[in-house]
Amino acid sequence: MEKVILDGRLVAKNITERLIDRVKDLKSNGVTPCLATILVGDDPSSETYVKMKGNACERIGINSLRIHLPKETQTEDLLKVIEELNQDNSVHGILLQHPVPSHIDERKAFESIDIEKDVDGVTSTGFGQTAFGFGKFPSCTPAAIMEIINFYKLPVKGKHAVVVGRSPILGKPVSALLLNENATVTTCHSYTTNLPEMLMQADIVVAAVGKPNFIKGEWIKKGAVVLDAGYNKGNIGDVDYEGCFEKAGAITPVPGGVGPVTISMLLKHTVDAAESTIKYS
């Protein structure tokens, strides 16, 4: 089998090209999709991410409403902003940029987002719906991973998938999505004692651990599909790319793998949310 580099930019381009026509149709019906992004504080990485997401919206005709709050903002003040956006019919999606300053109750803020506008898939209700197989807006990075798998027609049914990481907006939901596609899923984490042995059994590896070059090539079974959802300083993923490239049958690069598709899924969810206001109004 020829080795496949899973090109996220190609997948993202395919998604956004289809969204352009859908946005045009919405506008012809008097609806312009709108994504509101909330940034609290002045973390430079978060500022960059919010700007990237806003630019991506504008490229396909989605309105981008950017709300930048000072780092001194308290939880209750943030909740008021979110509630105003929940009530604003011109806003179809709400994204609270993670992380927020430590004095803010981030989970409480996430939970206050209306489920119909939770296009980033951060609420516990959204997670529950995803796990049960009927969630409209899965967390965007897990959704991106599944989109890459589908685009390249990689088999999932009956395969052993090992997910390294169990965060509530990445490791846990991607494990649920893979399970819903009939994979046998093992979720590993910081207390897993035999990680290399687990990975050697995996047909599909999802790296979501947040540590640069953590997963080594010698841990990968020959021919495995490796999906690197990590993004660390210096454009480095969670996977030792050179080492894993030698063993993998298919692998995502960093950058240019999961990241571009994640942003495209955020756009898709926003358009989906806007369309629902027409279908059910």
CATH number of residue 205's parent domain: 3.40.50.720
Q: Are residues 151 and 254 in the same domain?
A: yes
Give every CB contact of residue 119 below 8 A, 6+ residues apart in sequence: 35, 92, 93, 94, 95, 137, 140, 266, 269, 270, 272, 273
How far apart, in whole angstroms, are the C-alpha atoms of residue 281 and residue 274? 11
Please indicate, yes or no, whether residues 147 and 245 belong to a single structural domain of this protein: yes
Looking at 79, 97, 114, the residue that finishes a domain is 114
**10 membership: H or E segment, kind and range:** helix 8-28
What CA–CA distances, in Å, run from 245 to 63, 173, 219, 220?
A: 39, 26, 12, 10
Q: 37 with 80, same domain?
A: yes
Q: Tell whether 54 is covered by a domain.
A: yes
Whether 245 and 180 map to the same domain: the answer is yes
Residues 46 and 146 in one domain: no
Q: 242 and 152 in one domain?
A: yes
Tokens at residue 3, please? 């080795």
Tens-digit pLDDT string for the chain (281 aa): 578 999 999 999 999 999 999 999 999 999 999 999 999 999 888 898 899 999 999 999 999 999 999 999 999 999 999 999 999 999 999 999 999 999 999 999 999 999 999 999 999 999 999 999 999 999 999 999 999 999 999 999 999 999 999 999 999 999 999 999 999 999 999 999 999 999 999 999 999 999 999 999 999 999 999 999 998 888 899 999 999 999 999 999 999 999 999 999 999 999 999 999 985 44
CATH number of the domain residue 103 falls in? 3.40.50.10860
And the tokens for 41?
A: 């504080």
Residue 251, SS3 per DSSP: strand
Q: Whole-angstrom Cα distance, residue 206 to residue 248?
A: 12
For the chain, how many structural domains are there in total?
2
Same domain for 160 and 96:
no
User: Does some domain include residue 265?
Assistant: no
Q: Are residues 98 and 171 in the same domain?
A: no
Query: Is 277 within a domain?
Result: no
**Does residue 158 lie within any of the structural domains?**
yes
Q: Rounded distance, CA 272 to CA 265, Å?
A: 10
**Cα dist from 231 to 26, 170, 216, 254, whole Å:** 34, 13, 16, 7
272: in domain: no
**Is 87 found in the same domain as 180?**
no
Query: Can you read off the two tokens belonging to residue 116?
Result: 């119909």
180 shares its domain with 100:
no
Does 148 share its domain with 96? no
Query: For position 281, what pLDDT does the model report?
Result: 45
Sheet holding 225-228: strands in order across?
Answer: 4-5, 250-251, 225-228, 204-207, 160-164, 184-188
Task: Let me know whether 91 and 154 are in one domain.
Answer: no
- Cβ atoms of 96 and 125 within 8 Å: the answer is no
Asked if residue 51 is part of any domain, the answer here is yes
Of 73, 96, 114, the last residue of a domain is 114
Strands (E), the chain: 4-5, 34-40, 63-69, 93-96, 160-164, 184-188, 204-207, 225-228, 250-251
CA separation, residue 275 to residues 21, 135, 138, 271 (Å)? 12, 16, 17, 6
pTM tops 0.85, yes or no: yes
Residues marked as catalytic: 53, 97, 120
Residue 279 in any domain: the answer is: no
Question: For residue 249, what is the DSSP state?
Answer: S
The residue range of the domain holding 69 is: 30-114
Rounded to whole angstroms, the maximal C-alpha distance in the chain is 56
Alpha carbon of residue 76 to chain centroid = 27
φ/ψ (deg, to 5) at 70: -65, 155
Q: Is 92 among the domain residues?
A: yes
Rounded CA separation 110/123 (Å): 6
